[in-house]
Structure 1
């Protein structure tokens, strides 16, 4: 899978559909510690449940005629506001991102089940026996399913775990893909930068992050860890940082602040309405943070701000961490 960063991610449900109750019990035993599993031994009931779930229309703004030159930033902000609202959606963890369905069932086979799912964003993994292999290949080539695994695989649950994780990531990449294309056209290539993606994914693992949501002004991700703690991940391109410097100059901001940002050692977090320097709301004791520098397609300046992270006095030294 090409390295990318989604606009948002949160734990979602994985639906397992199989007419064998003993297999579903084995699934829950093997997979429930890793995923939010829901099981169905009746494909009709599973289909009704999946098709009746409320879901956000992630492309709600795509039919509007925004021009790249004038309105695309508003387009991005409007749609990103839609994703950040998921933080207060108590049903978001019940949202189904992946279905794992057996091919051979009496009421409806797995391919028919996948064909009748209404939500095109849901990723579909088909479990096959010997009899269903040819049908699985045809369904995969026709984009009816996204993945297929032999049920007799000796390492079935290991392969399933890998496939589900990959499909859940793809689910969030796909639902935000249209917005990212427009964002990249507006000099925000951070979503598709391989080095930044690697850095970001390492950060998620290190800090146990299970949810994240992208916001603009300044460009940042709101993060939530497994223990419930929240933090912010600031990620400035050189262009973004220069825009902050430009506004500080226009507003006759303090020289030490300008020097700090020009050095590339620090990134700012102005808690103003538009995310830029504002003399009236400026707090010199809660402004700049040490930057990690990520050299990818562009140079990025990043900082993780937790509840216990303190802003720093600007001390201009060459001790600057780089990530290559």
Structure 2
């Protein structure tokens, strides 16, 4: 089980593939409304749709550069624009990504295992939804890495398990997709990405506040959450060293003593969204830019707080998951 934090995660479009239109309609009706899905009874149409969606999905780019004088491999430089992570929220098509496929086994055009072999080069996760007679086939496919889970249709809690596994595999998809960048970033300014305690805290906050998507945020460092209606909330995350560094800047800029003391004692977390740090404009109203620092004890001590993010700090209006679900209903 991955106990680290993907650099971003959002709802995706579960793809259901079964040759029985009646079964697909019944399954779609019984799944939760907030689990967006697209159903295919035509295997070839499903295959084409999944391939096209992954072909056109946005990929982050990592640039590797070298010292221009000596072209030294040891002096290689990795360049990555961290801002592009949270700017993904501007992509209206992000929810159309088929991260998890749910595939019937016994289909006349192509059986479920053959379908999984056909998309084995794609990063999507696969659940084989089988009948009793297909269990041996499913186990063999699982053991050969062709599928990620299998669920028997006859199981009493099949639908509950299907929802649970879809959400688990969706997170696993984003973990796999962002692992290289996560590793690079966690070695520098974003150490909390590799800390299981912070991963657990983010999951707790998602459940507590109903956040449906999040993105790594660069300045101040933290996690930018969005609820189903697209309302942004910024979780500012600091280390002890980071707060002490802010304290020194505050002192050098003549910030109020109460603010300096709050930073020194790890009691306050500031977010100067509109003014910049420690200007004359905040001298009388500095407390409105601060929240009590919450503590997370992980591999090191982290201090965090949840701030409302002013809409003007985003590149544009957010196409929310609620908007997407309404548009999907209109199409169906």
Which residue in 2 is equivalent to 1:165?
167
Which residue in 1 is equivalent to 2:153?
151
Which residue in 1 is equivalent to 2:316?
none
**1:282–1:47 distance in 2 versus 1, CA, 3 Å:** farther
Q: Distance in 2 between matches of 1:243 and 1:51?
A: 48
Out of 256-265 and 61-70, give the one that drifted further: 61-70
Q: Is residue 201 of structure 1 aligned with residue 203 of structure 2?
A: yes
Query: What is the Cα-based RMSD across aligned positions, in Å?
Result: 2.8
Q: Distance in 2 between matches of 1:272 and 1:247?
A: 18
Q: Distance in 1 between matches of 2:127 and 2:144?
A: 14
Which residue in 2 is equivalent to 1:317?
none
Following superposition, the deviation at residue 293 of structure 1 comes to 0.9
**1:119–1:62 distance in 2 versus 1, CA, 3 Å:** farther
Equivalent pair of 1:272/1:278 in contact (CA under 8 Å): no
Q: Is residue 306 of structure 1 aligned with residue 308 of structure 2?
A: yes
Q: Distance in 1 between matches of 2:240 and 2:57?
A: 36
Which residue in 2 is equivalent to 1:12?
12
SS in structure 2 opposite 1:22?
helix
Equivalent pair of 2:83/2:218 in contact (CA under 8 Å): no
Cα deviations across residues 185-222 of structure 1 (Å, max 9, x unaligned)? 22633123222222222211111111111111211222
Following superposition, the deviation at residue 49 of structure 1 comes to 0.7
Which residue in 2 is equivalent to 1:264?
266
Q: Distance in 2 between matches of 1:196 and 1:50?
A: 33
Q: Between Structure 1 and Structure 2, how many residues are aligned?
A: 301
Equivalent pair of 2:234/2:309 in contact (CA under 8 Å): no
Q: Distance in 1 between matches of 2:94 and 2:279?
A: 39
Which residue in 1 is equivalent to 2:321?
none
SS in structure 2 opposite 1:33?
coil
SS in structure 1 opposite 2:99?
strand
Following superposition, the deviation at residue 167 of structure 1 comes to 0.6
SS in structure 2 opposite 1:96?
coil
Q: Is residue 126 of structure 1 aligned with residue 161 of structure 2?
A: no
Which residue in 1 is equivalent to 2:109?
107
TM-score calculated relative to the size of structure 2: 0.81
Following superposition, the deviation at residue 63 of structure 1 comes to 5.5
TM-score calculated relative to the size of structure 1: 0.83
Superposition pairs of residues 54-65 of structure 1, within 5 angstroms: 54-58=56-60, 60-61=61-62
**1:271–1:304 distance in 2 versus 1, CA, 3 Å:** same
**1:192–1:280 distance in 2 versus 1, CA, 3 Å:** same
Equivalent pair of 1:223/1:233 in contact (CA under 8 Å): yes
Equivalent pair of 1:210/1:225 in contact (CA under 8 Å): yes
Which residue in 2 is equivalent to 1:287?
289
**1:145–1:44 distance in 2 versus 1, CA, 3 Å:** same
Q: Distance in 1 between matches of 2:128 and 2:309?
A: 43
Cα deviations across residues 209-253 of structure 1 (Å, max 9, x unaligned)? 111111112112221112432211111122332332344355554
Which residue in 2 is equivalent to 1:318?
none
In proportion to residue count, which structure has more helix? 2
Which residue in 2 is equivalent to 1:25?
25
**Unaligned segments of structure 2, at least 5 residues:** 68-72, 311-332
Which residue in 2 is equivalent to 1:140?
142
Q: Distance in 2 between matches of 1:98 and 1:64?
A: 35
**1:133–1:235 distance in 2 versus 1, CA, 3 Å:** same
Cα deviations across residues 92-136 of structure 1 (Å, max 9, x unaligned)? 111111000011111111122122227632111112234433332
SS in structure 2 opposite 1:304?
strand
Q: Is residue 189 of structure 1 aligned with residue 191 of structure 2?
A: yes
SS in structure 2 opposite 1:152?
coil
Q: Distance in 1 between matches of 2:247 and 2:77?
A: 24
Equivalent pair of 2:9/2:215 in contact (CA under 8 Å): yes
Q: Distance in 2 between matches of 1:280 and 1:128?
A: 66
**1:29–1:271 distance in 2 versus 1, CA, 3 Å:** same
